[in-house]
Protein backbone atom coordinates (compact mmCIF):
# COMPACT_ATOMS: atom_id res chain seq x y z
CA UNK A 1 0.00 0.00 0.00
CA UNK A 2 2.71 2.41 1.08
CA UNK A 3 4.85 1.59 -1.94
CA UNK A 4 1.89 1.95 -4.26
CA UNK A 5 1.02 5.42 -2.93
CA UNK A 6 4.59 6.66 -3.08
CA UNK A 7 4.93 5.11 -6.55
CA UNK A 8 1.81 6.86 -7.81
CA UNK A 9 2.92 10.21 -6.34
CA UNK A 10 6.45 10.04 -7.74
CA UNK A 11 5.40 8.55 -11.09
CA UNK A 12 2.75 11.20 -11.60
CA UNK A 13 5.15 14.02 -10.73
CA UNK A 14 7.78 12.60 -13.07
CA UNK A 15 5.38 12.22 -15.97
CA UNK A 16 3.55 15.52 -15.67
CA UNK A 17 6.11 17.87 -14.12
CA UNK A 18 9.69 16.68 -14.37
CA UNK A 19 9.65 15.37 -17.96
CA UNK A 20 7.99 18.47 -19.50
CA UNK A 21 10.27 20.75 -17.48
CA UNK A 22 13.34 18.82 -18.59
CA UNK A 23 12.13 19.06 -22.19
CA UNK A 24 11.85 22.84 -21.89
CA UNK A 25 15.43 23.12 -20.70
CA UNK A 26 16.73 20.55 -23.23
CA UNK A 27 15.15 22.50 -26.08
CA UNK A 28 16.30 25.84 -24.70
CA UNK A 29 19.94 24.69 -24.59
CA UNK A 30 19.71 22.60 -27.76
CA UNK A 31 21.99 24.94 -29.70
CA UNK A 32 24.35 25.59 -26.80
CA UNK A 33 24.66 28.21 -24.10
CA UNK A 34 25.56 31.06 -26.45
CA UNK A 35 22.34 30.55 -28.44
CA UNK A 36 20.43 30.54 -25.14
CA UNK A 37 22.03 33.79 -24.00
CA UNK A 38 21.49 35.28 -27.45
CA UNK A 39 17.76 34.43 -27.38
CA UNK A 40 17.34 36.12 -24.00
CA UNK A 41 19.43 39.12 -25.04
CA UNK A 42 17.17 39.89 -27.99
CA UNK A 43 15.59 43.32 -27.50
CA UNK A 44 12.01 42.06 -27.90
CA UNK A 45 12.64 39.26 -25.41
CA UNK A 46 14.16 41.71 -22.95
CA UNK A 47 11.22 44.09 -23.23
CA UNK A 48 8.80 41.15 -22.72
CA UNK A 49 10.67 40.10 -19.56
CA UNK A 50 10.66 43.68 -18.28
CA UNK A 51 6.94 44.04 -18.93
CA UNK A 52 6.15 40.75 -17.20
CA UNK A 53 8.15 41.75 -14.12
CA UNK A 54 6.50 45.18 -14.10
CA UNK A 55 3.03 43.67 -14.31
CA UNK A 56 3.78 41.26 -11.46
CA UNK A 57 5.35 44.06 -9.40
CA UNK A 58 2.07 45.99 -9.57
CA UNK A 59 -0.53 43.20 -9.55
CA UNK A 60 0.93 41.18 -6.66
CA UNK A 61 1.20 44.05 -4.11
CA UNK A 62 -2.30 45.22 -5.08
CA UNK A 63 -3.68 41.78 -4.39
CA UNK A 64 -1.70 41.38 -1.16
CA UNK A 65 -3.24 44.60 0.19
CA UNK A 66 -6.70 43.76 -1.11
CA UNK A 67 -6.46 40.14 0.06
CA UNK A 68 -5.44 41.16 3.58
CA UNK A 69 -8.16 43.78 3.84
CA UNK A 70 -10.86 41.51 2.43
CA UNK A 71 -9.86 38.46 4.46
CA UNK A 72 -9.66 40.47 7.68
CA UNK A 73 -13.01 42.14 7.07
CA UNK A 74 -14.70 38.87 6.15
CA UNK A 75 -13.40 36.87 9.11
CA UNK A 76 -13.70 39.53 11.80
CA UNK A 77 -16.65 41.78 11.03
CA UNK A 78 -20.30 41.54 10.14
CA UNK A 79 -21.30 43.93 7.38
CA UNK A 80 -23.91 44.17 4.63
CA UNK A 81 -22.67 42.68 1.39
CA UNK A 82 -20.28 40.28 3.11
CA UNK A 83 -21.61 37.18 1.35
CA UNK A 84 -21.55 38.97 -1.97
CA UNK A 85 -17.90 39.88 -1.36
CA UNK A 86 -17.00 36.26 -0.60
CA UNK A 87 -18.60 35.17 -3.86
CA UNK A 88 -17.09 37.97 -5.91
CA UNK A 89 -13.58 37.12 -4.69
CA UNK A 90 -13.95 33.71 -6.33
CA UNK A 91 -15.37 35.10 -9.54
CA UNK A 92 -12.04 35.39 -11.40
CA UNK A 93 -11.55 31.63 -10.85
CA UNK A 94 -14.99 30.88 -12.24
CA UNK A 95 -14.71 33.12 -15.29
CA UNK A 96 -12.54 31.99 -18.19
CA UNK A 97 -9.48 34.27 -18.51
CA UNK A 98 -10.35 34.99 -22.13
CA UNK A 99 -13.77 36.25 -21.04
CA UNK A 100 -12.05 38.35 -18.36
CA UNK A 101 -9.89 39.93 -21.05
CA UNK A 102 -12.92 40.60 -23.22
CA UNK A 103 -14.66 42.28 -20.29
CA UNK A 104 -11.88 44.83 -20.15
CA UNK A 105 -11.95 45.32 -23.92
CA UNK A 106 -15.70 45.91 -23.71
CA UNK A 107 -15.25 48.41 -20.89
CA UNK A 108 -12.29 50.35 -22.19
CA UNK A 109 -12.10 49.53 -25.91
CA UNK A 110 -12.88 51.87 -28.82
CA UNK A 111 -16.60 51.00 -28.61
CA UNK A 112 -16.64 50.56 -24.84
CA UNK A 113 -17.90 52.65 -21.98
CA UNK A 114 -14.67 54.61 -21.70
CA UNK A 115 -13.39 54.94 -25.28
CA UNK A 116 -10.11 56.67 -25.92
CA UNK A 117 -8.81 55.84 -22.46
CA UNK A 118 -5.57 54.18 -23.70
CA UNK A 119 -6.02 51.28 -21.35
CA UNK A 120 -6.74 48.38 -23.67
CA UNK A 121 -3.93 47.34 -26.06
CA UNK A 122 -1.53 49.11 -23.70
CA UNK A 123 0.31 48.40 -20.45
CA UNK A 124 -2.45 49.61 -18.06
CA UNK A 125 -4.90 47.10 -19.52
CA UNK A 126 -2.41 44.25 -19.08
CA UNK A 127 -1.83 45.24 -15.46
CA UNK A 128 -5.56 45.52 -14.78
CA UNK A 129 -6.51 42.22 -16.34
CA UNK A 130 -3.65 40.43 -14.57
CA UNK A 131 -4.73 41.91 -11.24
CA UNK A 132 -8.27 40.73 -11.99
CA UNK A 133 -7.36 37.12 -12.70
CA UNK A 134 -5.09 36.91 -9.62
CA UNK A 135 -7.57 38.43 -7.12
CA UNK A 136 -8.52 35.18 -5.34
CA UNK A 137 -5.07 33.80 -4.44
CA UNK A 138 -4.10 35.86 -1.39
CA UNK A 139 -7.60 36.19 0.07
CA UNK A 140 -8.30 32.47 -0.45
CA UNK A 141 -5.14 31.55 1.51
CA UNK A 142 -5.77 34.05 4.31
CA UNK A 143 -9.48 33.47 5.01
CA UNK A 144 -9.07 29.90 6.35
CA UNK A 145 -5.91 30.87 8.26
CA UNK A 146 -7.66 33.77 9.99
CA UNK A 147 -10.76 31.68 10.61
CA UNK A 148 -8.75 28.88 12.21
CA UNK A 149 -7.10 31.29 14.67
CA UNK A 150 -10.22 33.17 15.65
CA UNK A 151 -10.26 36.62 17.20
CA UNK A 152 -9.03 35.62 20.70
CA UNK A 153 -5.42 36.81 20.36
CA UNK A 154 -6.58 40.07 18.77
CA UNK A 155 -9.03 40.70 21.60
CA UNK A 156 -6.25 39.96 24.08
CA UNK A 157 -4.06 42.57 22.37
CA UNK A 158 -6.88 45.15 22.59
CA UNK A 159 -7.46 44.49 26.30
CA UNK A 160 -3.72 45.09 26.78
CA UNK A 161 -4.10 48.56 25.33
CA UNK A 162 -2.98 47.96 21.73
CA UNK A 163 -4.66 50.11 19.08
CA UNK A 164 -6.38 48.25 16.21
CA UNK A 165 -3.36 49.04 13.97
CA UNK A 166 -0.87 47.77 16.52
CA UNK A 167 -3.01 44.66 16.89
CA UNK A 168 -2.94 44.10 13.14
CA UNK A 169 0.81 44.56 12.71
CA UNK A 170 1.95 42.82 15.86
CA UNK A 171 -0.58 40.02 16.31
CA UNK A 172 -2.76 39.36 13.26
CA UNK A 173 -0.14 39.64 10.53
CA UNK A 174 2.68 37.63 12.19
CA UNK A 175 0.21 34.82 12.85
CA UNK A 176 -0.78 34.45 9.19
CA UNK A 177 2.56 35.41 7.64
CA UNK A 178 3.17 32.01 6.08
CA UNK A 179 -0.28 31.87 4.50
CA UNK A 180 0.26 35.37 3.16
CA UNK A 181 3.63 34.45 1.64
CA UNK A 182 2.15 31.32 0.09
CA UNK A 183 -0.77 33.26 -1.36
CA UNK A 184 1.61 35.88 -2.76
CA UNK A 185 3.69 33.15 -4.41
CA UNK A 186 0.68 31.56 -6.10
CA UNK A 187 -0.39 35.05 -7.13
CA UNK A 188 3.05 35.81 -8.61
CA UNK A 189 3.17 32.53 -10.50
CA UNK A 190 -0.18 33.22 -12.09
CA UNK A 191 0.61 36.88 -12.75
CA UNK A 192 3.78 36.11 -14.72
CA UNK A 193 2.28 33.10 -16.48
CA UNK A 194 -1.15 34.43 -17.46
CA UNK A 195 -1.76 33.99 -21.17
CA UNK A 196 -5.44 34.07 -22.14
CA UNK A 197 -6.64 37.26 -20.51
CA UNK A 198 -3.46 39.19 -21.31
CA UNK A 199 -3.56 37.96 -24.90
CA UNK A 200 -6.99 39.52 -25.42
CA UNK A 201 -6.10 42.99 -24.07
CA UNK A 202 -2.46 43.18 -25.17
CA UNK A 203 -2.77 43.90 -28.87
CA UNK A 204 0.53 42.01 -29.38
CA UNK A 205 2.67 45.05 -30.14
CA UNK A 206 6.16 43.57 -30.23
CA UNK A 207 8.60 45.24 -27.88
CA UNK A 208 5.75 47.14 -26.26
CA UNK A 209 2.79 45.12 -25.06
CA UNK A 210 4.14 41.57 -25.20
CA UNK A 211 4.59 39.70 -21.96
CA UNK A 212 6.81 36.62 -21.68
CA UNK A 213 4.05 34.06 -22.36
CA UNK A 214 2.84 36.04 -25.39
CA UNK A 215 6.37 36.41 -26.70
CA UNK A 216 6.95 32.67 -26.33
CA UNK A 217 3.91 31.98 -28.49
CA UNK A 218 5.02 34.45 -31.16
CA UNK A 219 8.49 32.89 -31.32
CA UNK A 220 7.01 29.42 -31.48
CA UNK A 221 4.61 30.35 -34.26
CA UNK A 222 7.53 31.89 -36.16
CA UNK A 223 9.36 28.52 -35.93
CA UNK A 224 12.04 29.93 -33.58
CA UNK A 225 11.68 26.84 -31.38
CA UNK A 226 14.95 27.14 -29.51
CA UNK A 227 14.38 30.84 -28.74
CA UNK A 228 10.79 30.13 -27.67
CA UNK A 229 11.95 27.56 -25.13
CA UNK A 230 14.82 29.77 -23.97
CA UNK A 231 12.40 32.62 -23.17
CA UNK A 232 10.05 30.09 -21.56
CA UNK A 233 12.77 29.16 -19.08
CA UNK A 234 12.56 32.73 -17.74
CA UNK A 235 9.18 31.79 -16.24
CA UNK A 236 10.79 28.77 -14.60
CA UNK A 237 13.54 30.97 -13.15
CA UNK A 238 10.97 33.41 -11.75
CA UNK A 239 9.05 30.52 -10.20
CA UNK A 240 12.25 29.13 -8.66
CA UNK A 241 13.20 32.56 -7.33
CA UNK A 242 9.84 32.97 -5.56
CA UNK A 243 10.19 29.49 -4.03
CA UNK A 244 13.69 30.33 -2.81
CA UNK A 245 12.34 33.53 -1.23
CA UNK A 246 9.59 31.52 0.47
CA UNK A 247 12.06 29.00 1.88
CA UNK A 248 14.35 31.78 3.08
CA UNK A 249 11.44 33.45 4.92
CA UNK A 250 10.43 30.14 6.50
CA UNK A 251 14.00 29.52 7.58
CA UNK A 252 14.30 32.97 9.10
CA UNK A 253 11.04 32.55 10.99
CA UNK A 254 12.08 29.16 12.38
CA UNK A 255 15.45 30.48 13.44
CA UNK A 256 13.93 33.36 15.33
CA UNK A 257 11.96 30.97 17.56
Residue numbers at the binding site for another protein (CB under 8 A): 152-153, 155-164, 166, 170-171, 174-175, 257
Q: Compute the least distance from the CB of residue 140 to another protein, in Å.
A: 22
Q: Which is nearer to another protein, 39 or 176 (CB)?
A: 176
Q: Compute the least distance from the CB of residue 79 to another protein, in Å.
A: 15
Rounded CA separation 199/189 (Å): 17
Q: Compute the least distance from the CB of residue 155 to another protein, in Å.
A: 6
Q: Which is nearer to another protein, 157 or 214 (CB)?
A: 157
Q: Which is nearer to another protein, 30 or 170 (CB)?
A: 170
Q: Compute the least distance from the CB of residue 166 to another protein, in Å.
A: 5
Q: Compute the least distance from the CB of residue 159 to another protein, in Å.
A: 4
Q: Which is nearer to another protein, 157 or 231 (CB)?
A: 157
Q: Which is nearer to another protein, 17 or 160 (CB)?
A: 160
Q: Compute the least distance from the CB of residue 75 to another protein, in Å.
A: 16
Q: Which is nearer to another protein, 23 or 166 (CB)?
A: 166
Amino acid sequence: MRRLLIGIALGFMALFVVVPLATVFASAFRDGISAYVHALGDSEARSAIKLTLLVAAIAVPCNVVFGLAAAWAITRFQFPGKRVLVTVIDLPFAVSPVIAGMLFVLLFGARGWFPGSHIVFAVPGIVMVTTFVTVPFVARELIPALEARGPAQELAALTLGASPWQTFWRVTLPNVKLSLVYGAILCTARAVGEFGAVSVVSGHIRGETNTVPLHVEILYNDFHYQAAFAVATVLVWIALATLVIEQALRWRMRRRR
